[in-house]
Amino acid sequence: MLSSTRPRRTRRLAAASAGIASLALVLGACSGGDEPADDEATDDGGSTDEEITLTVATFNNFGYTDELLDEYMTEHPNVTIEHVTAAESADARTNLTTKLAAGGEGLADIEAIEVDWLPELMQYPDLFTELPAVDGRWVDWKVAQATTTDGKLIGYGTDIGPEAICYRSDLLEAAGLPSERDKVAEWLGGDDATWESYFDAGKEYVDATGNAWYDGAVATFQGMINQVDAAYEDPSTGEPKDLATNTEVKDLYDQVVTASVDDKLSAGLEQWGDDWSAGFQNDAFATMLCPAWMTGPIEQNAGDVEGWDIADVFPGGGGNWGGSFLTVPASGPNTEAATELADWLTSPDVQTQAFEEAGTFPSQVEAQESEAVQTFTNAFMNDAPAGQIFSTRAQAIDGAPFKGKNYFAIHTEVQNALNRVDLTGEDPEKSWETAVSDAQNVIQ
């Protein structure tokens, strides 16, 4: 167990914003609207017997097992699939943008893109193959996210991230607090749950144990900002808002800083870092915001630690965190065959299997309504009815917030500000002022 005094960590903060300011320049230079110069590059054997290899680049865990890919290769004996997985979405983004800027050399035939950095790439649709529409497959807002203003679809949706609260039932029980999932949901506010009620419950836990309530400020802020309709940009113009006068974002920043630092609810851990991974093993925190796909990393990091469960509740009602798309770079030598594979990987049946494997909740309507999803239980999460819980949480999502070309860059600076406060103890106002200044330097 952690002591009541949380040590401050001096560590390298995320440098995800590096190079963002030049992204528009380098990608714009290689996106003049021309078709690929080599006609052979697009004349592939999608429906022929030509022997081809298709590479699929994803990150984290999309649920694409070897057995699943073998199934496709059995049905398409001329196709060999190579699956490359980056540890984090930030690594995948860096690889993708760097290679796009270099003309596409070295890109996979299928590249996964995370929703938060999709908008900056939507400016350059000619770098991606236009994908045929598949009517009725996805929830409408998922399709809209990957469709350009002139109607070009550049990505097939994989998962969405409806959010619940994952928690350690054993730690709550030991603290004399509600631990059964229905009681936890009620304790956190039930249908009327707010961020205040979630933080108030955390204060009870901290008072009872002296230990942290959640993993980190940035992770908690992510759930809050995803409920803002247009956090950083004006949807009518696409222009960035002035962060210095953006009271909606600043109020959320202040709220999570107060909860994390003043009330000692945060364990001061940066998601995906080594300390965060170790935190699952040493009881570093009792709860965390939990999009469906997070159940996989929790199980992976927790190992033999028992007690994890899922409460069907979320502050503010509904929220979506994450969700990805499969794109087909236009520079690839086998775009037709890659499109066919991307279509199969995002079909309802395959996405249902991916959910069962990795907890990636499908964005496909048919998959969401399937008996396999609705009756799915997560053995590691105390046999929680994960399919039913995340279906309920998905129904609470009211569309998708506006995210324009500057969303990722500005959001990264706000995240950096929170990390400076949560990880190194920097003064919150000073850190906010740095974010305001840095955001001006990265907007396009």
pLDDT digits (tens, 9 = 90+) for 203-238: 999 999 999 999 999 999 999 999 999 999 999 999
Asked if the structure places residue 95 within a domain, the reply is: yes
Q: What does the pLDDT read at residue 28?
A: 57
Q: Are 165 and 289 in contact (CB under 8 A)?
A: yes
Q: With a cut of 60, say whether residue 414 has pLDDT above it.
A: yes
Q: What does the pLDDT read at residue 62?
A: 96
Asked if the structure places residue 381 within a domain, the reply is: no
Q: Are 406 and 230 in contact (CB under 8 A)?
A: no
Where among 333, 358, 374 does a domain terminate? 374
- Rounded Cα gap, residues 347 and 350, in angstroms: 5
Same domain assignment for residues 334 and 311: no
Same domain assignment for residues 232 and 291: yes
271 lies in which domain range?
163-317+401-442
Q: Are 270 and 276 in contact (CB under 8 A)?
A: yes
pLDDT > 70: percent of the chain: 89
Same domain assignment for residues 208 and 153: no
Asked if the structure places residue 11 within a domain, the reply is: no
Q: With a cut of 80, say whether residue 428 has pLDDT above it.
A: yes
Same domain assignment for residues 176 and 70: no
- Picking from 40-54, 69-83, 186-200, 430-444, which range would have the lowest pLDDT averaged per residue? 40-54
Q: Tell me the pLDDT of the chain averaged across its residues.
A: 91
- Rounded Cα gap, residues 428 and 220, in angstroms: 16
Q: What does the pLDDT read at residue 208?
A: 98
Where among 374, 392, 418 does a domain terminate? 374
Token pair belonging to 311: 């409460």
Same domain assignment for residues 61 and 156: yes
Q: What does the pLDDT read at residue 3?
A: 33
Same domain assignment for residues 58 and 177: no
CA nearest 325: which of 52, 105, 137, 149?
137
Report the pLDDT averaged over residues 69-76: 98
Same domain assignment for residues 267 and 355: no
- Domain count for the chain: 2
Same domain assignment for residues 96 and 148: yes
Asked if the structure places residue 146 within a domain, the reply is: yes
Helix orientation angle between 348-358 and 66-75, rounded to the nearest 10 degrees: 160
- Rounded Cα gap, residues 318 and 320, in angstroms: 7
Q: With a cut of 90, say whether residue 241 has pLDDT above it.
A: yes
Q: With a cut of 50, say whether residue 37 has pLDDT above it.
A: no
Same domain assignment for residues 181 and 264: yes
Same domain assignment for residues 288 and 204: yes
DSSP 108-122: -SEEEEEGGGHHHHT
Q: What does the pLDDT read at residue 189?
A: 98
Report the pLDDT averaged over residues 128-151: 96
Local confidence band at 16 (pLDDT 50, 70, 90 cut-offs): very low
Question: Tokens 């980190």, residue?
Answer: 216
Sheet architecture: strand order including 324-327: 79-86, 52-59, 110-114, 324-327, 156-157
Listed in order, strand segments (DSSP E) in 146-231 are: 156-157, 163-168
Q: With a cut of 70, say whether residue 34 has pLDDT above it.
A: no
Asked if the structure places residue 394 within a domain, the reply is: no
Same domain assignment for residues 293 and 416: yes
Asked if the structure places residue 13 within a domain, the reply is: no
- Rounded Cα gap, residues 181 and 353, in angstroms: 26
What is this structure's pTM?
0.87
Asked if the structure places residue 382 within a domain, the reply is: no
Q: With a cut of 60, say whether residue 398 has pLDDT above it.
A: yes
Asked if the structure places residue 393 within a domain, the reply is: no
Identify the CATH number of the domain in which residue 45 sits: 3.40.190.10
Same domain assignment for residues 97 and 119: yes
Q: What does the pLDDT read at residue 301?
A: 96
Local confidence band at 13 (pLDDT 50, 70, 90 cut-offs): very low
